Amino acid sequence: MAQRLLRHFRYGRTFAFLRRLTSSRSKSINAVRKLYQEFGLENRPCVLCGGKAFTLICEGDRYGFDLDKQICDQCGLVQTSPAVKKDFLNVFYRDHYRRLYTKRNDVDHASLVREQRQKGERFLAYLEKTAVAPKLNDLAVIEMGCSSGGILEKFKPHCRSVQGCDLDVEAIRYGKEQLKLDLEVAEFPTQLPEGPRLFILSHVLEHTHDPLASLKQIKSLMAAEDYLFIEVPGINLVAEGAYKHDLKSYFHLAHVCDFSEGTLRALAARAGYEVLSCNETVTALLRPSSETELPWRRSEKDTTENILRIEATRKRR
Ligand SMILES: [Zn+2]
């Protein structure tokens, strides 16, 4: 068996087993685990660079799911490998995701909208400091994976128009009825407004089965004058205190990839985007280039040593 980078007991299979056994979410966890075992896991090359060599980091996530997190030896992207299948993810989001998170069957849309509004304010503050700031008024905003639309509601007074799509039927209904927003049940927008546009992808890319393919697909919807705003939970923020400094809390069954500023920049270049702005949050503003792929390089920060550095901040607490 491969030597695990994070050697502590808590990152191994036995600890994951005990976590599943003792969790107050045991029933949900076991149902989800049975589901990904039935679909089977997928051995595949790195989703960023196509590399085939990985270093094992950890053998369980926050819930005790027995999935491996590995770092690609070539590009430094942390990812679940072997990966859960795309068909599993579809069923998981439809039937299990919310329940696992919230421990309840009904969804509190009002509280979700409050969180989304806070994100919307944060995103606007971020964009204020980018090249998009003077043009925001003229942009049509399109959010993919908008849930009930709280982010769009915050953008509405600052932009030409807002619209959104999501596969969550209940969330879309809530946003249309309560927030009076232009929303549709779809993975990608079925209609696009004319003129310059700002696409938003907030906490979606880390969940997608093939993030490179997703970014390329979005690029195919975009004109040269359009922008793409992305946010994903950054792995390096764990060293700053996010997830209580605990990589195991950060590692999540639903996160196919665990990005840093460096790996998101590399992925964007691979998909043919120019990066206008990006930080370790990870929050980024991209622009489509005329090339199908731009040159990229591995960030010096995306290493096994960096993973150990993050882990050391937990031990020092
Ligand atoms: Zn790679």
pLDDT in tens, 252-283: 999 999 999 999 999 999 999 999 999 999 99
pLDDT value of position 1: 60
| Amino acid at the residue 135 | K
CA–centroid distance, 139 to ligand 1, in Å, is 34
* DSSP line for the chain: -PPPSS-SGGGSHHHHHHHHHH-TTHHHHHHHHHHHHHH-EE----TTT----EEEEES--TT-----EEEETTT--EEESSEEPHHHHHHHHHHTHHHHHHSSSS--HHHHHHHHHHHHHHHHHHHHTSTTGGGGGGPEEEEES-TT-HHHHHHGGGSSEEEEEES-HHHHHHHHHHS---EEESSS-S---SS-EEEEEES-GGGSS-HHHHHHHHHHH--TT-EEEEE---GGGGGGTGGGG-HHHH--TT-SEE--HHHHHHHHHHTTEEEEEE-TT-EEEEEE-SSS-------TT-SHHHHHHHHHHHHT-
Instruction: Compute, in angstroms, the gap from residue 311 CA to the centroid of ligand 1.
Output: 22
CA-to-CA distance for 86 and 118, rounded, in angstroms?
30
CA of 15 to the centre of ligand 1 (A): 28
Average pLDDT over residues 283-304: 97
184 phi and psi, to 5 degrees? -140, 155
Q: For residue 47, how far is its CA from the centre of ligand 1 (angstroms)? A: 7
| Averaged pLDDT score across all residues of the chain | 95
Cα of 52 to ligand 1 centre, how many Å? 8
User: How many angstroms does the Cα of residue 267 sit away from the middle of ligand 1?
Assistant: 10
What's the mean pLDDT in 39-58? 98
Helix axes 169-178, 109-128, angle to 10 degrees: 80
**How many angstroms does the Cα of residue 44 sit away from the middle of ligand 1?**
11
C-alpha 148 – ligand 1 centre gap (Å): 34
Q: How close is the Cα of 46 to the center of ligand 1, in Å?
A: 5
pLDDT of residue 315: 76
What angle is formed at CA 203 by the lines to CA 31 and CA 179, rounded to 5 degrees?
100
Q: Say what the pLDDT of residue 93 is.
A: 87
d(CA 273, ligand 1 centre) in Å: 18
**Residue with tokens 């979005």, as numbered in its chain:** 218
> For residue 179, how far is its CA from the centre of ligand 1 (angstroms)?
41
pLDDT-based confidence at residue 102 (cuts at 50, 70, 90): confident
Both structure tokens of 11: 């990152």
pLDDT > 90? residue 132: yes
Each residue of 203-247: pLDDT tens digit? 999 999 999 999 999 999 999 999 999 999 999 999 999 999 999
pLDDT at residue 317 greater than cutoff 70: no
Could you tell me if residue 36 is left (phi over 0), alpha (psi between -120 and 50 degrees) or otherwise beta? alpha
Please give the share of the chain, as a percent, with pLDDT higher than 70. Answer: 98
Q: What is the mean pLDDT of residues 20-24?
A: 92
- Residue 277 alpha carbon to ligand 1 centre in Å: 22
CA 36 / ligand 1 centre spacing (Å): 24
